[in-house]
Amino acid sequence: MSISTTVFSEPLFNFKLSHYHRVSSTHRLKTNPHSLSSSSLFSSNYKHNSCSSTFKPPHKFVSPKFQTFATNTDTLESIQSSDVIFNQTHPINRIELVEGKVFVRLDQAEDLENSELIVGCNLPGKWILHWGVSRVDDAGSEWDQPPRDMIPPGSVPIKDYAIETPLKKSSEEDTFHEVRIGLKASNDISAINFVLKDEETGAWYQHKGRDFKVPLVNDIKDDANIIGPKSGFGLGQGDIGQQISNALLKSEATDDKIQDNNSVSESPKPESSQVEGFSVELSLTKEVTVNNSISVSIKKSSETAKNILDLETDIPGDVFLHWGACRDDLRKWEAPPAPHPSETVAFKETALRTKLKSSGSGEGSSVQISLGEEFSGFLFVLKINGNTWLNNKGNDFYVPLSTSGSLTIGNIEDQLVVVKNEETSEEESNAEFTNEIINEIRSLVTGISSVKRRKTKSKEAQETILQEIERLAAEAYSIFRTSVPTFSPETIVESEVALEVESPESPPKVTSGTGTGYEIVCQGFNWESHKSGRWYKELKEKATELSSLGFTVIWLPPPTDSVSPEGYMPRDLYNLDSRYGTIDELKDVVKTFHKVGIKVLGDAVLNHRCAQKQNQNGVWNIFGGRLNWDDRAVVADDPHFQGRGNKSSGDNFHAAPNIDHSQDFVRNDIKEWLCWLREEIGYDGWRLDFVRGFWGGYVKDYMDATKPYFSVGEYWDSLSYTYGEMDHNQDAHRQRIVDWISAAGGSAGAFDVTTKGILHSALDRCEYWRLSDQQGKPPGVLGWWPSRAVTFIENHDTGSTQGHWRFPHEKEMQGYAYTLTHPGTPSVFFDHIFSHYKTEIEALLSIRKRNGINCRSTVKIHKAERDVYAAIIDEKVAMKIGPGHFEPPSDSQKWKSAWEGRDYAIWEEAS
C-alpha cells in the first residue's frame, strides 16, 4: 500500500522525498515514499531526518566549542625537502542554494472558454506538473482527472485521478519552464490542484505543505493552500514562511507578489461567480551541486625528517581545518605539539582547528602543517559556512604518513554532510522534549495517587490517565525510533538458535511469525487484479502450478469491503465480499492452496479505516458494521478527521481516519477480528499494511493473540540521498526498519525496502560496489537481521500498472539472482512469475530449494566492485551479477555451473 498523503517534505539537506502516487475511488492524493527527496519552499519537516540520524560530527566532537590555549604558533621552519612523496587531488561536491520563482497565472475570460492557467518556474531542472481537478461537490482535498479537452499534449495520466504534464522551456539556453492548461466551460469543476516536481532530483514542491489549489469559482471554501487574489483567496502575510525551515529562506516571510489582471467590478457578484484572473510569484529555493576539490601533498624535511603537509582547496570563503594526528592503526585523535600554523585553536587535548589562509587572488585557501616521525597518520575534516562539515562518509579523512610513495586518502569522495545549528545538537533537543514527556507522566501518576488517596473508585478516571501515559510513552518511542542509530548486528539474538533439520524426514522448526525459515513467498495479485471481479477463482486455477514452482506461502489481496476497489481503504471489516470475489470464493481458494501445501497470508490494513457516517460537523469519522466505532477510535493529531483519541504513535495516512491503537476497545476489536479471520477464512498469517502508522508494540499484541505461521510488515520510507544520488551508507534507513521489527518483539518480519533501493542504484548505474556495507555484509536488513528480512524487487505498488518505483528495466533477473540466492525470505511478484521470466525464476527457485538456502544462510562477499558483485552462500552456492567477470575459487572445492542468464550466473558445489 502507499504511504502518506503529505509526505512531500524532508529536512533541508536530505534528498529523499517520496514522489509517487496511488489513489482510491475517493480521488484523494496519496504518495509512495521510496527513494528520493528534497527540501523545498513549500515543505514541512518530515520525521525521519537522515542527516541527523546517520551523521556524527567528526570524531566525537558533537557541537564542538573551541577555546584558545597557549599554542606555539611560531613560523614553521623553512622547508628543505626531498621530492614530494605524496600528492593527490580529490573532488568535493557541495550544495549551494539557488533562489528562483514559481509563477502561477490565471487568465480568466468571461465565458471560461478561452481562459488559461499558466504555471512556470525560472530555475533549471526537469519540471513536471502533477495536477488534477476538484469537483464542485467534492469536500476537502479530493482530486479527479480533468476532462480530455483540458489535457495538454505530452501529458501522462496517473491512474484515474491525476495528470502529469512536462513544463517546457522556450529555448535550450533559457531556464524558464512553463505549462499552459486551457480551461473549458464546466459547471462542475471548482478548482485545479497541483504539485510541482523536478525529475532531475526527485524533489516535489508543495504550497505550505499541501497541494496548490487554484480556485475557478468564488464560492469555494477558503483554504490555506489556495492560490489567488487576496480578496477572498489571498495568502496571509508570512503564511508560506511559517510552514518551512528558516534555512530555506533569507527572510521570515514570503515575498509573494500578486497582481489582479482584471479590475474588480463595483457591483457584487453572485457567490457562484467565477474567480477573477490573477498572477502570483512564490519564492523557490533549489539546491544545486557545486564542484570543488581538495589536494594534499606530503614532503619529508631533509633537516628534521618531519612530514610537511600542504593542504589546498578551491572552496570559496572561510575554510577551517579540524585536525589531529594518530600513532597507530586505532586512529585515536591527538593534538600534535607545536609549532602550529597561525590562527590555530585547540579543543581539549585531542584536536586542533586552523583557519586556512586565503590565496592572494581570493580564490581558494591553503595551510601547511608539520608533523613529527612519531605519528603514523594525519586526521582531518573541513568546516565551511559556519555549520557545514566535509568528512569521509561520516568518518574522518585519514592520510597515512609513510615514505612508501603509495599513500592514499581513504575514500575521500564527494562527502558533504550538513549539521544545522551547531550550537544546539539533536541530542540536546531530544533530551529537552523527553524531559517534558517525563514531567507529564509524573503529573499523571500523581493524579492516579490522588485518586487513590481520596478513595475514589472511578475506574473511568484512572483508565483515562493510564491511556494518556500510554500515549506519552508512544510519543517518547517515536523520538527513540528517529534518533541516531544504535543498532549493532551482534545485539540481535535469535530466539531460535538454529534451523534444526537433522534429517530429510524431520520437519523444520516453526517459529511464530517467521515460519520455518525456508519460506518462499508469492505475491498473488497485482494492482489490476480486482477488475475481473473473479480473482479468487482465477488464482485457484494456478494453485497447483505455484506449488510445483516451489512457493510455500502466497499473499492474497485485502479481503474486506473497501472504498477503493483495490481494498486498501477498508470500511466494514467483517464484510468479506470484495471486488476480488465473495467470502465463499475466498474460503475456497484458501482451502485449495492448503491442499497443495501453500500457506496463505491475509493483507490486513490496520492503520486506517474509512467511516460510513459523518459527525455533526460533516466529517467522516463514525464507523458502521459490526465494529461501529465513533471518533474516539480516531487519533487526535490527524487534522482531517477530528478524532478524539490519543495522538498517533506513528505517521498519519491522510486519506482516511487513522485508528488509535492505544485504545483498549480498538485493540480488543482488532484482535477479535484477526482471530475470526484465522478461524473463519483459514489465513495462516498476515501481510500488514502501512505499519509506519502505529507503534510496533501494538503489532506484537496482535501477533501474540493470533499466533501466525508467518507475518510481514510494510515499513516503507525514504532512503538517504545526497546531491540527488543515493548514499552508500543506508544504515539509518535499515535501522528504522529494524527498530520496528524490534518493537514488534521480532514477531513479524519486514519487507527489506533498503535492499530494493540499493539494488536499484547498483544495477541501474553499474555501481555494484554498493552491495557491500562498511563491514563487508549485505547492506540491507538482510545484512543485520536476515531471519526477519523479506526481500523483494517489485510489488503491486512499485510495479504493475502503477510503476511507482519500478525496478531497472530488463534487469529484474539480476535482482532475483540476488534475492533468491541470499538469506532472508524472498518474495516474488505475480507479474514476473507469469511472464517471459518464468523459466529463469523457476530455475533459481529450484537452486534455492535444492541447496537448502534459508533465511539464516551465511553470505561471504567475494567481489563488490564497479561492474560485478559476487558472493558464496552457505559454501554451497556461488553467484555473481553484473557484466564483470567472476568465477568461484576452486582451491578448496569444485564448482559446476547451475544456471546462467543475462549478466548473472549461479554455480553449485560439485558433488
Count the Cβ atoms, other than its own, within 10 Å of residue 147.
12
How far is CA 800 from each of CA 311, 383, 440, 719, 831, rounded to the nearest angstrom?
53, 46, 48, 22, 7
Whether the ω angle into residue 58 lies within 30 degrees of 0, i.e. cis, is no
Single out the residue of 173, 171, 176 nearest to residue 125, CA to CA. Answer: 176
Count the Cβ atoms, other than its own, within 10 Å of residue 246.
12
Amino acid at 729: N
Note if 572 is an active site residue.
Answer: no
| H or E stretch at 536 | helix 535-540
Rounded to the nearest 5°, which phi and psi values hold at 531? -70, -30
Note if 689 is an active site residue.
Answer: yes
Single out the residue of 625, 651, 649, 647 nearest to residue 636, CA to CA. Answer: 647
Q: One of 714, 731, 812, 903 is an active-site residue; which one?
A: 714
- Grid coordinates representing 844 are 533459481
Q: Give CA–CA dist 225/105, Å, rounded.
A: 15
Structure letter (DSSP) for residue 150? G
Q: Are 313 and 366 in contact (CB under 8 A)?
A: yes
Q: Give CA–CA dist 438/433, Å, rounded.
A: 9
Give me the count of residues in the chain.
911
Q: Give CA–CA dist 40/287, Å, rounded.
A: 9
Structure letter (DSSP) for residue 339? P
Count the Cβ atoms, other than its own, within 10 Å of residue 361.
6
Q: One of 585, 660, 689, 831 is an active-site residue; which one?
A: 689
Count the Cβ atoms, other than its own, within 10 Å of residue 499.
17
- Grid coordinates representing 14 are 536530505
Single out the residue of 721, 693, 735, 653 nearest to residue 11, CA to CA. Answer: 721
- Grid coordinates representing 850 are 535444492
Strands 725-726 and 721-722: antiparallel
- How many Å separate Cα 202 from the centre of its chain? 12
Rounded to the nearest 5°, which phi and psi values hold at 219? -90, 15
Catalytically active residues, by annotation: 689, 714
